[in-house]
Structure formats: structure tokens, C-alpha cells
Amino acid sequence: MGVEDLLAASRVGVRRLSPHETVQAAARGALVVDTRTEAHRRAQGELPGAVVIDRTVLEWRLDPGSDFRIPEATGYDLEVVVVCRQGYSSSLAAASLRALGLHRATDLAGGVEAWCAAGLPMGTGPADVRQ
């Protein structure tokens, strides 16, 4: 299995969100998680309302059973929308979260590039970075 097969498998049966659907999800209480690198965030801007979590620790921060979880990781029914630059690594990350039991985890189709193409605003202020 190559990376394209892994990506396709991670998206089977998953409803990925558009930029506007991501805004709606956040408005109803979904946790939007930005996994982009600092360099990409610096170049593209900050995603308003998102929590920034490095991909290397994502599962530990969002697993409600983890001693290293963030306060927002309140239960396995939490709706999570993972965002990356183009919507590839976010699909893999969301699949990993679903494997942990966060069955409502999905991602933003097209990533921040789709967000910007949809004309949605980016922020410049400090990001909500979680270590």
C-alpha cells in the first residue's frame, strides 16, 4: 500500500467539510485544530478560532483518556475538524483520531488553501498554540 492508498482509505465513509461547513461546525461547538507548521502559519496566517496542535502530539492532546489531553478533550463524542495546508495530512490525522475513538473527527477538504479560496478571513494575531 502506498501513501495514496492510505489517504484514500482514511477518507472512506467520512464526510469531509467545506470551508463554510467548518465555520458552521465551529459555531455549534466543534473543536477546530490547525496542524500546520509554524512556517506555514506564518506564510498563510492564523486560522481564526482554531487551536494549534503539532501533528506529533495530536493524539495525546485530543484523547480524552490521555494524561496529556487539553481541557477541550472532554469526551469521545467531541466533534473535531482537523485542518492542514492542503487537506492531505489532515485526512490522515482525522483517521488516527477516529481510530482512538473520536468517531466525529473529520477534516477540512482542501485545507487552509480552500479556506482562503472561499474568501474566508485569516487572522494575524497570536495563535492558540497548545504544547
Residue 122's domain spans which residues? 3-130
| CATH code: domain of residue 34 | 3.40.250.10
Alpha helix (H) ranges present in 1-131? 3-11, 19-27, 38-44, 58-62, 89-100, 111-117
Q: What is the pLDDT of residues 29-41, one digit of tens each?
A: 999 999 999 999 9
pLDDT for 124 equals: 85
Residue 79 has what pLDDT?
A: 98
Q: Which three cell numbers stand for residue 13?
A: 465513509
Total of domains in the chain: 1
- The 10s digit of each residue's pLDDT in 39-80 is 999 999 999 999 999 999 999 999 999 999 999 999 999 999
Q: Please write the tens of the pLDDT for every residue from 84-130.
A: 999 999 999 999 999 999 999 999 999 999 999 999 999 988 899 99
Q: What is d(CA 131, CA 123) in angstroms, rounded to the nearest whole number?
A: 20
pLDDT of 1 reads 85
Edge-first strand order for the sheet with 80-83 is 105-107, 80-83, 31-34, 51-53, 128-130
Q: What pLDDT score was predicted for residue 131?
A: 85
Q: Which long-range contacts (CB under 8 A, 24 or more apart) does 99-102 make?
A: 100/59, 100/62, 100/63, 100/76, 101/63, 101/76, 102/62, 102/63, 102/76, 102/78
- Is the pTM higher than 0.85? The answer reads yes
